Homo-oligomer: A and B are copies of this chain.
């Protein structure tokens, strides 16, 4: 296997899946079981799951875990923080040797699931962080998602596949010009209070 990480940096995500049902354990374990996590480093405790690896795989895996849980029809949410360029540890660096082919993309694309999501981007270590966000992100061109400004975050509504694509594009654009970037998100589907 060739080392393809020459131009890439390790990304990660601390995420938690929240099925609002008595059988939350089954929903979580099934979603993890249906997701191919072979291209990311993974560590789970009782608060959250941390995945690390190439950016493409970190998004692919978070996206797939959420879809597999939400497709049960239960009210399922996920919150997490994506991060890249954080100075520090080296856990999972061996996963930077994986190829760029996402393992779950094809299956995810076949799952029809609407959701609402709030996300916020935090470019770190720069005084021009607001400019970096507005310069890099033009969500008005995103296909399939309705974009609404809200307090401390931007709301995206639409298909889960479109929401994750929009978030990944925004994160990717900002991390190309800012070394350390984090992005928080909370996505929710099948809520009884949905409009």
Smallest CB separation, A116 vs chain B (Å): 5
Partner of A186, one of B16, B19, B194: B16
Residues of B within 8 A of A122 (CB): 122, 124, 182
Min CB distance A48 to B, Å, is 6
Known contacts A127-B127, A186-B48; is-contact A81 B12 (Cβ 8 Å):
no
Among residues of B, the one whose C-beta sits closest to the C-beta of A151 is: B50
Give the copy number: 2
**A77:B118 contact, CB within 8 angstroms:** no
A193–B45 alpha-carbon span in the complex (Å): 8
Across the interface, do B130 and A193 meet the contact criterion of CB distance under 8 Å? no
| Contact between chains at B14 and A79 (CB < 8 Å) | no
Chain A 23-55 interface 0/1 with B at a Cβ cutoff of 8 Å (1 = within): 011000000000000000001011110101000
Which one, B14, B47, B184, B193, contacts A188 given CB within 8 A?
B47
Q: Does A8 contact B (CB under 8 A)?
A: no
- Residue of B14, B47, B155, B187 near A152 (CB, 8 A) is B14
For A177, the chain B residues whose CB sits under 8 A away are none
The answer to whether the Cβ of A91 comes within 8 Å of any Cβ in the partner chain is: yes
CA distance A24 to B126 in the complex (A): 41
Q: Shortest distance in angstroms between A191's beta carbon and chain B's nearest beta carbon? A: 4
